[in-house]
Homo-oligomer: A and B are copies of this chain.
């Protein structure tokens, strides 16, 4: 449904949101989120290119969120690494359909719209503020 890469990106962003006091290195984030370190570095790179996170180089550098958690919809994170693609034209390339999708593909596209809407309206802030017993990504005892 949501790609592995997107899930990794979300983990990283939530992790950064939880510790927004200072930049965090790839290694730190990888350890917290249990994402393969070298792969995470690529994911963070994409997030930086799309200005979801801000990267600070050099000694004591690392990654920080580029926006406040409340202003960062999950959709932005997902679209940065693995954009949600809508069905715009008939996959069968039927001439007479053109831009008019048949009911089947319209229905499939509806499901995509639904997902998109859900992730547009829920932000990283939502994830953090919601009262719950489990703190995201952390063992309960560790904080």
A61-89, CB under 8 A of B: which get 1 and which 0? 00000000000001000000000100000
Report if A2 contacts B (CB, 8 A).
yes
Copies in the complex: 2
A139 within 8 Å of B (CB atoms): yes
Residue count of chain A within 8 Å CB distance of chain B:
48
Find out whether the CB atom of A84 lies under 8 angstroms from the CB atom of B1: yes
Q: How far is the CA of A141 from the CA of B97 in the complex (A)?
A: 10
Please list the residues of chain A having a beta carbon within 8 angstroms of any beta carbon in chain B.
1-2, 7, 10-11, 14, 33-34, 74, 84, 90-97, 100-104, 106-108, 110-112, 114-115, 118-119, 122, 126-128, 130, 132-141
B138 touches A94 (CB 8 A): yes
Which of the residues B10, B97, B126, B128 comes within 8 Å of A134, measured between beta carbons?
B97
